Amino acid sequence: MIHQLRRRQRLLAAASSGVLAAIALGATDHAAAQPASNNTAAASSVVEEVVVTGSRFGPRVVTDSPTPIDSISSQDLAKTGASDLQGQIKVTVPSFSTPRPAAAGANDFLTPPTLRGLSTGQILMLVNGKRRHTNAELNSNNQIGRGDVAYDFNAIPAAAIGSVEVLRDGAAAQYGSDAIAGVLNVQLDKSLGFLARGRYGVTSEGDGQDVQLSVAQGFAIGDGGFVRVTGAYQDHQHTNRARPDTRQQYFGSNGATQVLPSGNYGSGVGLTPANGVLAPREASFNRNDWLYGEPDYENSSVFLNAELPLNDRATAYAFGGYNQLNGISYNFIRRAGQDETVRAIYPNGFRPEQHSRLENASLAAGLKGADLAGFGWDLSTSYGASIDRLRVTNSENASFGATSPTSVLRGGARFRQWTTNLDLTREFAMSSGSPLKVALGLEYRKEWYELRAGEPASYANGGVPILDGPNAGKPAPVGIQSAVGVSPSDVIPGERDSKAIYAELEKDLGGRLQVSVAARHEAYSDFGDTTNYKLAGRFELTDSLAVRGSVGTGFRAPALAQSFYSQSDFLFVSGQLLKTRIISVNDPVAPLIGATPLKPEKAKNLSFGLVFDQGPLSATLDVYRIELKDRIVISSNFQSTALTTFLAAKGFSGIAAASYLTNAVDTTTEGLDISARYRHELGEAGTLTTTFAANFNRTRFDRIAGTPPAIAALGITAPLVDLTQQVRLAQSTPKDKETLNLAWTRGKWSVNLTNTRYGEVAQVSLTGRTPAQVAALIPGYSVKLVPSAPGSANSDIIQTFRADIITDLDAAYEVTDHVTLATGVANLFDKYPEHQIASTAASVAAGANGADNAGIFPFAYIAPYGSAAGSSM
């Protein structure tokens, strides 16, 4: 009881220090300000919410839309307590989820979101209705989003955002590639006046300090125009939930012979005996030097949003910005006794650090008007670029020996996108009833991608053998620790263009029925043509109850990074230095191992819903089904002596293992979205708004491609997509997520209490375990055993992690019309995810260590709410 009380005191201390202050000096709403806001999980006081996403015919009320849309104001986003935009959306939109990667390099800062149970690449992001460029980095880590690219949500300062609209429906026929699961549209703020915000947050452990400062100024220009400029700075410090490293670090001694240290967590110092007599230094080694949690980063950004009426018929507009994020990812420690360690440089081992510099630049400009031969028109062009630069410090390349540099440029990547659109809209009067609304459009898009090679010491073999220890004289590991750099042979630049023509019709029939149809034809220079359609409708059964639904097709063009990314690593087999590679499908090696040029993913979307809106109560229920063919994934890692020999005979020597991106699976995702909001007037006690929102989804595999014939001919039986990847695609994001929000306002006070339940998630924790090992490892965990191969007694272990409810609390007081003070606590009750399977004395005695480093890193990367919150374990 005393221990629990102390934990709660620390948490309250953290709450009192997590103060958010906003000062809006002279801020006023512009006449053309963003639509009124809505928050499906953290409701505001606005009753009718207006959105522009999902239709080319101007703003509409959310409940009037034939497809489900969430609209969240910037104020409601801030009330979630999350420090980043993705975290804020995750709390407010139940079908939107995002994990918290760790030790994932650049992807530590590009947390890959999912929508409606689908992957990162099936979400399209817009800014002011215009396509946003993705980040340049392909996620090749064994985490959620593997084989995909993500948007950099950190590039847009929160103070520049007026609202975020999330269309939860397939919309490729309207917006083009990627809009399979839905569309996220960031509407920039158009208000005038000065705004300043400051935010400070800290976890109950006293780490993870987060400082955010932003200023914005909106100016009136011309007759009804505006310019709004926003600048922001964020300094986020790391969190650490690692356990002490109880492994043996140094060589043991067996008489006059040095012995390599044992490698399992808890072995050597702790759970099981050491290899040999321990070195005296084991007693003084700092076993708390690991870091596991959120990374360190600084992010600076500036954004512009402007409009200027030129005359009665034309308005010019522009928006865009620049940001630079500099972050540090902390990788696994290389122990003093490992072959990867040059002990002349690091006598006690080392922890490599990757320094990522992520830059984004964008600019969109256009002209729009209301009458061009009777058509409303919008001509725009936008350019976006992402440049990633990766450097490893506190590291070395063991094959360079004692002369190895300790700071090396690993390389990077660059992606550029240029998009030009012409949109036309017109209403045609009909002899009876409402007018026929017509929209037409043209789009041209050009994209470029390239990897950038690192310094030679990041990837080259220096030729120096292991200098000392039991393996002295043997070949040393090649490449910078912890990830080999990009070599010139990995660099295969790629580019493409696409041309699209699209149309949309909308008509109200009989006063109660609204029907819209959209079609889009697009021609890509790299894989050909695709045509997609969407039919949507809404019928009012009564004044307060309506049914809605949509059916359509969609597509997702392979990202250039998916087609042109390549990565090499090295290992020694019988003393021979060999490569293990992720091979670009455009590499000459690719067709020899069964790889083919990537095709677009193709989707069939179907949804049906009910909408109820009467007085203080509004509610929606939508069921959906998404059939997705030719999903792009990274294949299994194919490895054998026969493969090495075969490729050498074809002129590609030194390759021990290979994988590649492939259209390997078909899936069907089915789900249900629910939202309900009730606004209750309490008289002098204020107003209470209760909001419930939920998503339920499941994904099944309709096809998993077999082992490619070229690989099978070499005697390799590994499947094209292994169990780990299958579980990651279908079970690593919550199958259900529910949010209950209570929002109370009275005068200048407001309080938001949000409870979010994250459903179960699963991962393959261990593979190829014997029955004795399984029996020693799984007690106390929820697992499913799958035979490692047909007829095998060994098992792969799928671990399921429990559902959890996370409570967030926010309170605010409006000091003046321009000054608001707020305080809040995220994860009020200090919840941690369930632990991963880890070693025990019994499991090590049975010859089974737990998942690699799981004893030190107790929480899974797929934990849907991360592991930052909490006090001592």
Per-residue pLDDT of 308-365, as tens digits, reads 999 989 999 999 999 999 999 998 889 999 999 999 999 999 999 999 999 999 999 9
Task: Give the DSSP letter of residue 403.
Answer: G
Asked if residue 489 belongs to a domain, the reply is yes
140-157: average pLDDT? 88
25-35: average pLDDT? 39
For tokens 């609202």, the residue is 163
Supply the range of the domain harboring residue 859.
761-801+846-873
Comparing C-alpha atoms, which of 129, 131, 162 is closest to residue 30?
Answer: 162
Q: Are strands 182-188 and 193-201 parallel, antiparallel or unpaired?
A: unpaired
168-187: average pLDDT? 94
**pLDDT of the residue at 1:** 33
For tokens 């939107």, the residue is 96
Per-residue pLDDT of 216-269, as tens digits, reads 999 999 999 999 999 999 999 999 988 888 888 999 998 878 888 877 666 666
Mean pLDDT lowest among 453-462, 565-574, 857-866 = 565-574
Q: How confident is the model at residue 151 (pLDDT cuts 50, 70, 90)?
A: very high
Comparing C-alpha atoms, which of 59, 318, 79 is closest to residue 165?
Answer: 59
Per-residue pLDDT of 429-444, as tens digits, reads 888 778 999 999 999 9
Counting the structural domains of the chain, the total is: 2
Asked if residue 91 belongs to a domain, the reply is yes
Q: Which residue has the higher pLDDT, 27 or 771?
A: 771
Q: How confident is the model at residue 680 (pLDDT cuts 50, 70, 90)?
A: very high
Instruction: Give the Cβ contact number of residue 854 at 10 Å.
Output: 21
**pLDDT of the residue at 22:** 40
Percent of the chain residues past pLDDT 90, beyond the cut: 63
150-163: average pLDDT? 92
| Strand, helix or coil for residue 684 | helix
Peptide bond into 675 cis (omega under 30): no
**Looking at the structure, do residues 686 and 604 belong to the same domain, yes or no?**
yes
**Looking at the structure, do residues 60 and 122 belong to the same domain, yes or no?**
yes
Per-residue pLDDT of 257-278, as tens digits, reads 888 887 766 666 666 778 888 8
687-711: average pLDDT? 94
Task: Tell me the pLDDT of the chain averaged across its residues.
Answer: 87
**pLDDT of the residue at 176:** 94
Q: Residue 700: enclosing H or E segment and its boundaries? A: strand 687-704
Rounded CA-CA distance 582/570 in Å is: 12
Beta-bridge partner residues of 753: 742, 809
**Looking at the structure, do residues 133 and 115 belong to the same domain, yes or no?**
yes
Q: What is the pTM of this model?
A: 0.89
Mean pLDDT lowest among 39-48, 301-310, 348-357, 548-557 = 39-48
**pLDDT of the residue at 723:** 93
Rounded CA-CA distance 93/43 in Å is: 11
Per-residue pLDDT of 592-615, as tens digits, reads 999 999 999 999 999 999 999 998
Q: Which residue has the higher pLDDT, 91 or 579?
A: 91
CATH number, residue 106: 2.40.170.20
**pLDDT of the residue at 109:** 86
**Looking at the structure, do residues 466 and 441 belong to the same domain, yes or no?**
yes
Per-residue pLDDT of 760-771, as tens digits, reads 999 998 888 889
**pLDDT of the residue at 220:** 96
**pLDDT of the residue at 816:** 84
**Looking at the structure, do residues 191 and 320 belong to the same domain, yes or no?**
yes
Q: Which residue has the higher pLDDT, 702 or 856?
A: 702
Task: Give the DSSP letter of residue 575.
Answer: T
**Looking at the structure, do residues 772 and 697 belong to the same domain, yes or no?**
no
Task: Report CA-CA distances (Å) from 81 to 18, 76, 231, 399, 752.
Answer: 9, 10, 21, 47, 10
Asked if residue 464 belongs to a domain, the reply is yes
**pLDDT of the residue at 290:** 87
**Looking at the structure, do residues 57 and 98 belong to the same domain, yes or no?**
yes
Structure tokens at 314: 């034309």
| Strand, helix or coil for residue 418 | strand
**Looking at the structure, do residues 778 and 733 belong to the same domain, yes or no?**
no
Structure tokens at 307: 């409009």
Amino acid identity for residue 683 in this structure: G
Cβ-based neighbours of 367, under 8 Å, separated by 6 or more: 310, 314, 315, 316, 317, 378, 379, 380
Asked if residue 253 belongs to a domain, the reply is no
624-637: average pLDDT? 95
Rounded CA-CA distance 659/669 in Å is: 26
Could you tell me if residue 299 is left (phi over 0), alpha (psi between -120 and 50 degrees) or otherwise beta?
beta
Peptide bond into 482 cis (omega under 30): yes
**pLDDT of the residue at 36:** 34
**Looking at the structure, do residues 193 and 231 belong to the same domain, yes or no?**
yes
Rounded CA-CA distance 285/288 in Å is: 9
Structure tokens at 769: 């375990």
Rounded CA-CA distance 89/80 in Å is: 9
Q: How confident is the model at residue 53 (pLDDT cuts 50, 70, 90)?
A: low
**pLDDT of the residue at 645:** 92
**pLDDT of the residue at 77:** 84
**pLDDT of the residue at 755:** 93
Rounded CA-CA distance 667/700 in Å is: 6
Contact 381, 423 (CB under 8 A): no
**Looking at the structure, do residues 593 and 670 belong to the same domain, yes or no?**
yes
Structure tokens at 412: 């990077």
**Looking at the structure, do residues 100 and 149 belong to the same domain, yes or no?**
yes
Task: Give the DSSP letter of residue 790.
Answer: T
Asked if residue 252 belongs to a domain, the reply is no
Rounded CA-CA distance 375/812 in Å is: 46
Q: Residue 711: enclosing H or E segment and its boundaries? A: helix 709-712
Asked if residue 359 belongs to a domain, the reply is yes
102-107: average pLDDT? 73
Residue 552 scores a pLDDT above 80: yes
Q: How confident is the model at residue 522 (pLDDT cuts 50, 70, 90)?
A: very high
780-809: average pLDDT? 93
For tokens 């409708």, the residue is 537
Per-residue pLDDT of 449-475, as tens digits, reads 999 999 999 999 999 999 999 999 999
Asked if residue 279 belongs to a domain, the reply is no
**pLDDT of the residue at 324:** 97
**pLDDT of the residue at 20:** 39
688-706: average pLDDT? 94
Residue 870 scores a pLDDT above 60: no
**pLDDT of the residue at 257:** 85
Rounded CA-CA distance 438/505 in Å is: 5
Buried-state track 233-258, b at ≥16 Cβ within 10 A, e below 16? ebebbbbbbbbebbbbbbbbeeeeeb
Asked if residue 682 belongs to a domain, the reply is yes
**Looking at the structure, do residues 155 and 190 belong to the same domain, yes or no?**
yes
* Three-state helix/strand/coil letters over 73-106: EHHHHHCCCCCCHHHHHHHHCCCEECCCCCCCHH
